[in-house]
């Protein structure tokens, strides 16, 4: 007869395969070990915002105190003047003109200090020149102190001025 039992039309089930061996390590799955971006934002967002607030408060204090520094006031007004003059005559001429004004105004500052009067740092005003303020003005010791201070300038500012005029007339 046949090897199948009578009345059965199916073959016997196949034997089950043996189980694979257990690995010595944990397999890596996509996304495992990574946190959700919201968790990272909660963890790092607070310290970052606190640091930004701290920097902003210090920056605010620095910006409020910078005009008290004479060097910042002078250099900032010089940069503004250079930018204004450069729009019309080019940056080389602008730098030369502002440096000429600086040399000239420092002549006034030196003479005021020789006379015993405290002078401010030069303040540059675009298209008008520069100004030096006598911060501790007292009665002049002599009638000639005012004119001496007004005409005081280094001799180099005259020669520098003539060089700038030649530079301005040069064809580009």
Q: Are 80 and 126 in contact (CB under 8 A)?
A: yes
- pLDDT value of residue 72: 74
Q: Taking the mean position of all CA atoms in its chain, how far away is CA 115?
A: 39
Q: Which of 49, 47, 45 is nearest to 37 (CA)?
A: 45
Q: What is the pLDDT of residues 57-97, one digit of tens each?
A: 888 777 777 667 667 778 888 999 999 999 999 998 899 88
Q: Are 133 and 77 in contact (CB under 8 A)?
A: no
Helix count and strand count (H, E) for the chain: 5, 2
> Which tops the pLDDT comparison, 143 or 134?
134
Distance CA 36, CA 24 (A): 28
- pLDDT value of residue 80: 93
Name the DSSP class of 6.
T
Distance CA 22, CA 24 (A): 7
Strand partners, 129: 125
Q: Are 109 and 130 in contact (CB under 8 A)?
A: no
The mean pLDDT value of the chain amounts to 78
């Amino acid at each position: 007869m046949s090897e199948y039992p009578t009345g059965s039309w199916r073959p016997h089930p196949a034997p089950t395969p043996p189980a694979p061996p257990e690995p010595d390590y944990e397999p890596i799955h996509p996304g495992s070990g990574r946190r959700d971006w919201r968790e990272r934002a909660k963890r790092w967002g607070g310290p970052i915002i606190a640091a930004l607030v701290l920097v902003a408060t210090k920056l605010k204090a620095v910006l409020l105190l910078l005009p008290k520094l004479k060097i910042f006031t002078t250099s900032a007004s010089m940069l503004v003047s250079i930018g204004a003059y450069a729009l019309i005559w080019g940056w080389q001429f602008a730098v030369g003109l502002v440096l000429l004004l600086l040399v000239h105004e420092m002549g006034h500052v030196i003479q005021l200090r020789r006379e015993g009067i405290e002078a401010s740092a030069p303040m540059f005003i675009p298209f008008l020149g520069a100004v030096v303020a006598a911060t501790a003005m007292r009665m002049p010791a002599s009638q000639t102190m005012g004119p001496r201070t007004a005409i005081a300038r280094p001799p180099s500012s005259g020669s520098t001025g003539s060089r700038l005029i030649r530079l301005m007339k040069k064809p580009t």
